[in-house]
Amino acid sequence: MNTSFISTQQIKDLINEQKFTSTQEIMNCMKNMFADILEQTLQAEMDQHLGYEHAERRNDDAKKNYRNGSVKRTMKTQLGEVEVNVPRDRNGEFEPKIISKYQRNADGIEERILSLYAAGMSTRDIKEQIKGLYDVEISEGLVSKISERILPEVKQWQDRPLEACYPFVFMDAIHYKIREDHQVVTKAAYVILGINEDGIKEVLGLWVGASESAKYWMGVLNELKSRGVQNVSLFCVDGLTGFKEAITAVYPKARIQRCIIHQIRSSTRFVSYKHIKEFMKDLKQVYQANTEEQAMSQLAAFSEKWEKQYPTAVHSWEENWDILSTYFDYPVEIRKIIYTTNAIEGLNRQFRKVTKTKNVFPNDDSLRKMLYLAIQNLSSRWTQRCRNWDLIINQLRIMDSSE
């Protein structure tokens, strides 16, 4: 955009002519200039629409359409409210391009509302922000209606085709309070994040549901398959119910790694404070071992020492060892990616940041909208490949081909 279309001399002439005495007078002048320029642009669009200029004589054989006055429209802008004369044609066919037929907002207020909503602000706070920024009164209901306009966009994003292969897929959930049938219930927002063959992170989908079962997750994974995902080398999951069974049913060739960090948190939850330091020292010998053989030897020693005092903590490692030890089969570069769900934790932190002001969501769509906007904000910054990706993908292809 050329910002120097008004010369310095023209600005000086304007100042001398108007003799401004306050910033408000300058703003009023700018509002009038904005209205004049917008009206001239609309008249130029009408000339193009009719095929002749305003003062030009019209061929009688031309299409029987002509100017039919104008209608006043109040536009909300960053300069405040501005009255604009929008031209009309006899046949009612003229559709302005610079502003839509029913548009009342020329300054991106709707975009600002959505950006504030995406940042986690309440409808009340957004109302106050818009009042302070634009001196425009809006209702909380209007804020909600504007945010609802993205729901078709959310559905389109959720239904979009996906790539055929994702080397790594991370699955996790965060729980929220949602109002349903006149009561508050707890529901989970399930998120699936993939690393594609180019080494770039991508959120594959977002689901809001009350169930944590193999049947539910099987439906989610079948949805991924119907959208094009045919192969996944490895799923990284936390300890939620139904993950393992669903993955095995839908992607039988995929391997599963349970998040070590989640496992540590779960198994140390009831360990006494006076024992936790020693307990963790022994546990590190297990999950930081160089090979699975060494890890199993350390697990046996760990079990012998702590089983009597903390049987539940010890048994959780033994019972889930088949999906806790998967990462030992991979080179160090791949282990760093898969032994934890850190790849999705950054997304979860963003979710918590934007939802912290919401104790209870009025419905599923309200939560879905906010999380979708958070995903868009964060994923726009995912442009870098995973570190050492060329080495990782080549190692993974060799391992997959040998199975």
Mean pLDDT of 257-282: 92
Supply the pLDDT for residue 4.
45
Mean pLDDT of 142-156: 78
**CA–CA gap between residue 274 and residue 145 (Å, rounded):** 54
Confidence of residue 1 (pLDDT cuts 50, 70, 90): very low
Percent of the chain residues past pLDDT 90, beyond the cut: 35
User: Is the model's pLDDT at 143 over the cut of 70?
Assistant: no
Supply the pLDDT for residue 323.
92
**CA–CA gap between residue 207 and residue 175 (Å, rounded):** 12
User: Is the model's pLDDT at 376 over the cut of 90?
Assistant: no
Count CA atoms closer than 13 A to 163's CA, side-chain side: 18
Higher pLDDT, 131 or 270: 270
Q: Please check whether residue 272 is in contact with residue 279, taking contact to mean a CB–CB distance below 8 angstroms.
A: no
Supply the pLDDT for residue 89.
85
Q: C-alpha angle with apex 146: 140 to 149, nearest 5 degrees?
A: 145
Supply the pLDDT for residue 229.
96
pLDDT in tens, 219-229: 999 999 999 99
pLDDT in tens, 156-178: 999 999 999 999 999 888 899 99
pLDDT in tens, 233-247: 999 988 777 788 889
Supply the pLDDT for residue 28.
75
